[in-house]
Homo-oligomer: A and B are copies of this chain.
Amino acid sequence: MALIKLAKEVEARRQELLRRINMAPNGTATIVRMRSDLLRIIKECPHLVPIDADLKHLLSSWFNQGFLTLERINWETPAIVLEKLIEHETVHAMKGWADLRSRLAEDRRCFAFFHPALPNEPLIFVEVALAKGLATSIEPIIDEQREISNPSYADTAVFYSINNCQEGLYGISFGNFLIKQVVQELSHEFPHLQNYSTLSPMPGFCKWLKVVIDNPGKYAIPDDNLALLGQLHGNSWFQDSESVESLKPLLIGLAAYYLMHAKKGNEPLDRVARFHLRNGAILERINWLGDCSDNGIRKSAGMLVNYVYRPSLIISNHESYVKNHTLAISPNVAKLVPKTL
């Protein structure tokens, strides 16, 4: 009983204030925007951290998965929602309404989470291509001129882009639920689907690689390799077929090493790897020159990764990850890791 009182005392009166704000018209939207504003200045204002803690505590509780609804996004979706997708697609940016329409065509699916108190505000959305076999590069997927195939012949669902839309909900995770529910939806609509795979960037790879190059001693990189990596300057090295040929095995090896061995605490350093491996996916394949956009070259050295969700293994993979920090790696990727960097 004393604990009950202590908890009440300790819980900031600020939380009560926030609960009252929430009762006003558009209260929830206001609070989410408050946190978004707060996060923009928090680095300069460390004394605001406790306020953020309260905001995050409340928002986590209010945006509990049990209150979210998964909705299919297509060309019948209101424009006010669709424009937010265009705005928040940062993994593979959209060029406008025609690009969006192409990503919502018959051979594509798109789903988003919504909260009842934020109508017309997608929280997070995932774009899916229905294809034959695992996709190896992004360009054919987002090509507006591609031939639209009949999705009922597809055997693979490729999750090629996941984006959050609400800065004010930063750090409150919806992604794993989103993937699980979308897998369920898709398996209902397309009982013939056999594979659920991502086509994902390694957003931290080049940053990590720079550290490696700058500390050749620590990582014991052979001089030959260092010389080769010197060609990585700029954003167009991948167009020089000679460079590409010599860099390919080296970079793929480094990528495999990075995904498996570069850590933040006990978990993968790469936030995308961390997300999918923690969720129970398998690191299945690394695709050379899968994304030659500026963004793809600059962050992931043009590579894209397939993480595969095998429904029967998701739980056991997730548990091994959480208990023992074990990563589910396919043999094909495992053998790519070089003996020396």
A interface residues (Cβ-Cβ under 8 A, vs B): 1, 3-4, 6-7, 10-12, 19, 22-24, 27-28, 49-50, 53, 57-58, 61-62, 64-67, 75-80, 82, 96-97, 101, 116-117, 120, 177
Contacts and interface: CB of A to CB of B under 8 A. Distances in A.
B28 A66 contact: yes
Given A28-B67, A78-B79, 12 more contacts: A1-B49, A1-B50, A6-B10, A22-B64, A23-B64, A61-B62, A67-B67, A75-B79, A76-B78, A77-B78, A77-B79, A79-B97
A174 to B, nearest CB: 11
A188 to B, nearest CB: 12
Contacts of A4: 49-50, 53
Nearest to A68: B23
A80 B49 CA distance: 44
B66 A27 contact: yes
A62 B65 CA distance: 12
Given A49-B1, A50-B1, A120 B76 contact: yes
Given A79-B75, A80-B75, A65 B1 contact: no
A230 B33 CA distance: 63
- Per assembly, the copies of the chain total 4
Chain A at the B interface: mostly helix, strand, loop or mixed? helix
Contacts of A78: 75-79
A66 B7 contact: no
Contacts of A75: 78-80
Contact of A62 (B7, B62, B82, B101): B62
Pick the most buried of A12, A64, A65, A66: most chain B CB atoms within 10 A of its CB.
A66
Nearest to A10: B7
Contacts of A64: 19, 22-23, 62
Contacts of A3: 10, 12, 50
Contacts of A120: 76
8 contacts: A3-B12, A19-B64, A23-B66, A27-B66, A61-B62, A76-B79, A77-B78, A79-B79
Contacts of A177: 23
A66 B24 contact: yes
Q: Counting chain B CB atoms within 10 Å of each CB, which of A4, A12, A24 scores highest?
A: A4
Contacts of A1: 49-50
A76 B78 CA distance: 5
A100 to B, nearest CB: 8
A80 B73 CA distance: 12
Nearest to A5: B53
